[in-house]
Amino acid sequence: MTLPSPAATLIPVVRNGATRQIATIPRDGKGPPVVWLGGFRSDMRATKAEAIDAWAARTGRAFLRFDYGGHGESEGDFAAFTISDWLADAEAAIARFAPERPILVGSSMGGWVALLAARRVRPAGLVLIAPATDFTEALIWERLPEEIRARITREGVWRRDSAYSPEPTPVTRALIEDGRRHLLLGGPIDPGCPVHILQGMADPDVPWAHAMRLVEALPERGVVLTLIKEGDHRLSDPASLARLIAAVEGIA
């Protein structure tokens, strides 16, 4: 029997003197709490988040998921937000519902946000799925032809066709410029906890070589990388979901 999807709870996030509301779904249970950090233009009711929620319900685990500003059920226009905003959302949700050292589970962009948040929230562990560390620069800007870069610089936005949505994705100058404030891959990265990375080798969006750059930047001990040769970016098939739950259980 499929359980009814719980309603979201709105919480305020204050940034740059303005207050907005983001949607959260906290699940009570034993800890340390597991926190889901979704991907770029994804939402907290996506397949992987639902799978972890079902696991949390079965095991009595504390679990938190939320939507960044401009995503899912949270307030705001997606194109108006940047990495700094989404990091602030993550830190606000964690402070409200998961103050005990959490286990951060970050998918794609959420992997980058998890690594950034780890500097302040001191997680007990990280599980990263196709982590898109520094993606605004390494996976978008550096891949764009000069004419598209010029358009973003001149017009402030370029709308890129998406394989995951019928609507194009706005890539803004503000997103690119703000992303440069948060780049991590130029030096060592030590989140101070165990890390398990799940990466598909058939991922067209976050190539597995990009995940290897992150592995090389992480400490020599406490890091596990699982490569799925046939795995795509979503890693939402039953076998991949089983690997995800096993990784979360292993860190937890």
Would you list the DSSP string of 45-85?
TSHHHHHHHHHHHHHTEEEEEE--TTSTTSSS-GGG--HHH
| Overall average pLDDT of the 188-194 stretch | 97
What residue segments make up the domains of the chain, in order of their start?
9-133+191-251
Q: What is the pLDDT of residues 69-118, one digit of tens each?
A: 999 999 999 999 999 999 999 999 999 999 889 999 999 999 999 999 99
Confidence of residue 3 (pLDDT cuts 50, 70, 90): low
Question: Among 216, 215, 244, 252, which residue's Cα sits nearest to residue 228?
Answer: 244
Determine contact, residues 74/67, Cβ cutoff 8 Å: yes
- Residue-level pLDDT at 163: 72
Q: What is the pLDDT of residues 7-19, one digit of tens each?
A: 999 999 999 889 9
- Residue-level pLDDT at 246: 97
**Which has the minimum average pLDDT: 25-34, 163-172, 234-243?**
163-172
- Residue-level pLDDT at 166: 79
- Residue-level pLDDT at 31: 83
Question: CB within 8 A of 177, min separation 6: which ones?
Answer: none
* CA-to-CA separations, 205 to 68, 131, 188, 231, 245, in angstroms, rounded: 20, 10, 24, 12, 23
Q: What is the pLDDT of residues 124-172, one digit of tens each?
A: 999 999 999 999 999 999 999 999 999 999 999 999 887 777 789 999 9
Backbone angles phi, psi at 188, to 5 degrees: -65, 150
| Overall average pLDDT of the 219-231 stretch | 97
The pTM assigned to this predicted structure is: 0.95
Question: Among 92, 131, 130, which residue's Cα sits nearest to residue 111?
Answer: 131
- Residue-level pLDDT at 124: 97
Angle formed at CA 222 by CA 132 and CA 51, multiple of 5 degrees: 55
Give, in words, the CATH class of 9-133+191-251: alpha beta
Confidence of residue 1 (pLDDT cuts 50, 70, 90): very low
Determine contact, residues 63/52, Cβ cutoff 8 Å: yes
Question: CB within 8 A of 162, min separation 6: which ones?
Answer: 41, 168, 169
pLDDT at 211 over 70: yes
